[in-house]
Amino acid sequence: MPDTHRNNQSRVVITGLGAVSALGVGVDRLWEGLVNAESGIGNITQFDTTNFDCRIAGEATGFDPAAFMPLSETRRMARASQLAVAAAKEAWQHAELDQRQENSERIGVLLGSGMGGWEKADSGTTDFRNRSSGRAKPFALAASLPNMPAFSISHYLQAHGPMAGLSSACATGTQCIGEAAEMIRRGATDVMIAGGVEGLVTDFIIAGFAGMRAMPTAYNDDPQSASRPFDIDRSGFVLSEGCGAVILESYDHAIARNAPILAEVLGYAASADGYHIAKPEPSGIGAERAMRWALDNAQVNPTQIDYINAHGSSTPINDVLETNAIKRVFGAAAYNIPVSSTKSMIGHPLGGSGALEAIACVQSLTTSIIHPTRNLDTPDPACDLDYIPHTARQHDVNITLSNSFGLGGQNACLVLGKVEQ
């Protein structure tokens, strides 16, 4: 890692990782699947898709919430909250934190979701309108609130510092990690549990995005081929569920407890397109701003970036937009930087995607392996960067850039690096 403007007091490091994704439960399962170019996309099992144009998604199959919390409590929790607790508990254990030795008032939670526990509000509303008593189900409304994943983590891990659940569409996970790092920098906390989650493979959500023509409809019989970022035959993103959680600490706090330091948050930035409710600004200027500002915040030169984890959503517009924005930020060096898309294998878990992609970046920093982009069979001529098709690559990675761009023109970028202690 190069020298930066930060002294030890303002440095923020990552000491723990936790994940639930379409590839399975746990960070090891996620990374193994990504490196081996496995796909977690399949036919939807959570509802009957007979009359649906799109019948595929990335479900977190094998996830049993009762393995992480009492069954009696899972019944009152939305899927997003269940996934969040599982990922946060893994990250906590990975970081080797001990609640008996920590000041709970100096531990915060900043973990958001694009849509929260919307399914609880939906089912609760339907049930209420079908009743004649005028009474609603207890907890249906509370469970649907977008801050409930963060609350659930705070409850189970007894984190009594600042708590919030940001919602910035597909940029949520990235923005939560970036803003949590800033909270540590300004001295508000010593430890933050940060990330993003989504748990909404539901009939309305699938139908809604399909109605926006944002999802692929030609791969129902071949779901593992559906998410194909930067490929000429891409036709939309594949909705998935999942959660990524990371433990952030001040450098001094991590060193004092001899923590397993994995990476450092060197920089972060967010921007807005201010253009359209669903379409990104066509030139990609918002994405470009976020990348430039994140590099400036990290005091990192574009030539120092060793790997870019692309937003890479597999939509016709976004993949070209991101490619062009990368070229403008990095100039001729753009063609020398390896780029890949995690979503080609786990689909797009909306608010959870940025956090899972940050975890992939940390794994690249610690293993010197970059996972590939699956299904990149025929590259789009307009997407002509080094997208690492099909096979993982051994590569010395010291600094990474992770991009997240979402509905409503939400853009967020993280710069992560190896740590010199």
Catalytic residue among 176, 311, 371, 383: 311
Catalytic residue among 94, 253, 348, 371: 348
**What is the Cα 123 distance to its own chain's centre?**
26
Write the DSSP string, 48-96: --TT-S--EEB--TT--GGGTS-HHHHTTS-HHHHHHHHHHHHHHHHTT
371 is known as an active-site residue: no
160 is known as an active-site residue: no
Q: What's the N-to-C CA distance of the chain in angstroms? A: 10
Q: Which two tokens stand for residue 252?
A: 């001094």
Calculated CA dihedral for residues 247, 240, 232, 406, nearest 10 degrees: -60
253 is known as an active-site residue: no
Query: Cα dist. 83→46, 111, 159, 197, 267 in Å?
Result: 16, 12, 18, 7, 27
Q: Who's near 81: CB < 8 A, 6+ residues apart?
A: 117, 143, 148, 149, 151, 152, 199
**Alpha carbons 140 and 125: distance in angstroms, whole number:** 8
Say if CB 238 and CB 347 are below 8 A apart: yes
Active site residue ranges:
170, 311, 348
